[in-house]
Amino acid sequence: MRFFNTTGPVVAADHYCIPPLDRLNLTEVRRLIRDKRYFVLHAPRQTGKTSALLALRDLLNGEGRYRCVYVNVEGGQTGREDVEQVMRTILAALASWARMTLGDEFLDSVWPDILAKHGPHGALDEALTRWSQASAGPLVLLIDEIDALIGDALLAVLRQLRAGYVRRPEGFPQSVVLCGVRDVRDYRIQSTAENAIIAGGSAFNIKARSWRLGDFTRDEVLALLEQHTEETGQVFTEEALAVIWTQTQGQPWLVNALADETCFYGEAAANRSLSITAEAIRQAQEQLILRRETHLDQLADKLQEERVQRVIEPLLSGANERTFSAYDLEYVRDLGLVAQGRPLRMANPIYAEVVPRELMWVVQEEFEQETAWYVDAAGGLDMGKLLTAFQTFFREHSEHWVARFQYQEAGPQLLLQAFLQRVVNSGGRIEREYGLGRGRTDLLIVWPQGEETHKIVIECKVLHKSLKQTMAEGLEQTAHYMDQCAAAAGHLVIFDRRVGRRWADKVFHTRQMASNGVEVDVWGI
């Protein structure tokens, strides 16, 4: 039985998969190779780049016109800026891949002597020149994980590829594809030897094109999941399919991970007559987050970087002002954290859930709050009691707790979410919406009560104008969100961060009516 792949390149015999070459503009790729061009393929991690490169290699070699070799240079990362060690690792890997792929042992016999004679800043150039001259046909070289290299080691590779470019195809590879998370033009390479920052575009100005490998389309997601149904008879309900698409927005690892978790673990794995439901998908999502799966953990780790914080922090707080550079934004997009295009938002709802939970993880675990304290006799969530407790907590401890967040501008919102998450974790779930320029953070608590599901909206705003104006805006926004989510209750939380204000003036609770007649509880903090 095939299964959903969450580790490494896809193998069609083992994995349900979308054919990797279907995700490339193969006509354009062929044209660039034919025209002896060098180009770039980039995309966030675990999107399918390596699978696409390996499929392209096999296609070209099967056709017989070119001799194509794939090489992964990530092993050179351990050498850091030791150019000789990195070059030794790359040449050895290239020789190994050539031997395994083409049965070509030419590089095995010459690269050590070339490195000794030409040094690390000329060895790759010379090795590729000799290999191309000895080759029975034009060489095509696919270099994966190029951005695993750093500093002078990366510069050495890029500059030697550029130096040999004029000798192609008789004396250098006909075409070279560089593959990594980022486009080479966006590299800012710190050269220790030159004591300067070198732009990747200048070090590799022979690049003809760059492609970003996209996420799955909705049709591709459905086609992938249908493969499981065809082979096992197990179906996904329409609601489950909708949840998978909505929550992942086609991010390949997330799609596969949700499907793998639901189809191959638990009841559904033992009984194929059971349909995969929307609730099963939501439970799988929660398990992936709680286990801090490597894919999600790697993204969360990036949150510690200052250039990532400059983009993500105003998203979390709903700030109206852009405080980051275009370079910062491009970097975070290349990581796959935020979506392409406008408005600026997280790439998908799962990442939107992971980011605040990661930032508030330690704080949440230290809260001495129990769900049972806030559940009424009928099993409902007592939001009045819960938000009153948060007001008291925030008044007494916010200065200490907010200071513990790296993202202090979004600290109050994160603190409220940590408080709520601690309580809601045991019975319901929280859905979040936030983004640059929204002026607010939308929280939706989904709480099961008997046979019914109750929805409660919490709208968070920071008081920037007058209290009257902030409250008026917030009431309309809360009422609109309640209508959008079909929520029975709504709460507007207004954080007053103005310096010098007394707590007695900031803390209040009142019930107000929006223009559409919907009543909203307003909490001043």
pLDDT tens-digit map of 22-42 = 999 999 999 999 999 999 999
Does residue 490 share a domain with residue 461?
A: yes
Which residues have a Cβ under 8 Å from the Cβ of 168 and sit 6 or more positions away? 36, 132, 174, 175
pLDDT of residue 183: 87
Backbone phi, psi, residue 443, to 5° = -120, 135
pLDDT grade for 50, boundaries at 50, 70 and 90: very high
| Cα four-point dihedral sign 414, 416, 420, 423 | positive
Distances 495 to 53, 200, 442 between C-alpha atoms, Å: 50, 44, 14
The CA distance from 9 to 276, in Å, is 26
- Whether 346 and 338 have beta carbons less than 8 Å apart is answered as yes
Q: Concatenated DSSP letters for 53-75?
A: HHHHHHHHHHHSSSEEEEEE-GG
Share of the chain above pLDDT 70, in %: 99
Decide if pLDDT at 397 tops 90: no
pLDDT of residue 495: 93
Does residue 244 share a domain with residue 193?
A: no
Neighbours of 151 (CB within 10 A): 19
Residue 94 belongs to what H/E stretch? helix 83-102
Does residue 169 share a domain with residue 48?
A: yes
Does residue 382 share a domain with residue 241?
A: no
Does residue 60 share a domain with residue 189?
A: yes
- Our count of domains for the chain comes to 3
Last residue of a domain, one of 212, 242, 271: 212
Does residue 371 belong to any structural domain of this protein?
yes
Nearest CA to 148 out of 66, 207, 89, 229 is that of: 89
Last residue of a domain, one of 291, 326, 356: 291
The CA distance from 101 to 54, in Å, is 11
Does residue 206 share a domain with residue 232?
A: no
| Cα four-point dihedral sign 476, 478, 482, 485 | positive
Last residue of a domain, one of 212, 247, 276: 212
* CATH code for the domain in which residue 60 is found: 3.40.50.300
CA contacts within 13 A on the Cβ side of 130: 17
Backbone phi, psi, residue 512, to 5° = -125, 165
The CA distance from 12 to 434, in Å, is 38
pTM: 0.90
Which of 185-199, 216-230, 407-421 ranks highest by mean pLDDT? 216-230
* CATH code for the domain in which residue 281 is found: 1.10.8
The CA distance from 86 to 78, in Å, is 8
pLDDT grade for 93, boundaries at 50, 70 and 90: very high
Decide if pLDDT at 458 tops 80: yes
Backbone phi, psi, residue 483, to 5° = -65, -40
The vertex-72 CA angle with 68 and 77, nearest 5°, equals 150
Does residue 285 share a domain with residue 162?
A: no
78 lies in which domain range?
19-212
- Region 143-158 average pLDDT: 94
Does residue 477 share a domain with residue 363?
A: yes
- Region 95-104 average pLDDT: 97
Residue keyed to tokens 């083992």: 14
Does residue 238 belong to any structural domain of this protein?
yes
pLDDT grade for 305, boundaries at 50, 70 and 90: very high
- Whether 406 and 423 have beta carbons less than 8 Å apart is answered as no
pLDDT of residue 125: 97
Does residue 27 belong to any structural domain of this protein?
yes
| Cα four-point dihedral sign 415, 419, 422, 425 | negative
DSSP 75: G
Does residue 311 belong to any structural domain of this protein?
no
Does residue 316 belong to any structural domain of this protein?
no
